[in-house]
Amino acid sequence: MILNAAIFLITLFLMEGVGFLAHKYVMHGWGWFLHRSHHEEHLGAFETNDVYLLALGMVAVGLIVLGNSGFDPLQWVGAGVAAFGLIYVLVHDGIVHRHWPVRPQPRNRYLKRLYHAHLMHHAVKGRRNSVSFGFLYAPSVPALKKQLRAMREAERAASRADLCTPSITSDLQNG
């Protein structure tokens, strides 16, 4: 029983890392076509981004079924994945995005930090140069502001460099 609880808790803890990597490199990478809906205004209760939560649920159920078929530790891994999904829905969708009829205000320091970090994540339009990709962990607001300023300055410097660099086309045309 202690081993099962340890597997569950370790999986739950590791899922934040999995979520961070999936958010940064899949959702803000090649999977942006689904995640974009999460960064835009929408009218209904669902968005195409919910496909990711559905996929997470299918992984959790699959692991639990495999665990019940004789691979016991997998059911606890699946339970950890499912618990992460449930916490995501409660904290991210409920408290951060307030997708529920009752819109709770974050009152404790941890929830306020998550809330403000996620607002800063959404402050960047588009999929590039965003901050705070975690779901249950967020760097401090001052650290995120510093990161955003550095990215904006790098963007400005890159656009200034583009203006100063002659294009290959004009080089070819001029001989």
Closest CA to 125 of 36, 13, 44: 36
Residues of the chain under the 70 pLDDT cut: 43, 99, 165-175
Amino acid at 47: E
pLDDT of residue 165: 64
Closest CA to 93 of 141, 38, 146: 38
pLDDT of residue 111: 85
Q: Contact at 8 Å (CB) between 139 and 117?
A: yes
pLDDT of residue 115: 85
pLDDT of residue 167: 56
Domain positions in the chain: 2-166
pLDDT of residue 131: 85
Q: What is the pLDDT of residues 39-61, one digit of tens each?
A: 888 767 788 888 999 999 999 99
Q: Quick one: DSSP state of residue 31?
A: T
Q: Which helix (H) or strand (E) holds 151?
A: helix 141-164
Torsion sign across C-alpha atoms 141, 144, 146, 149: negative
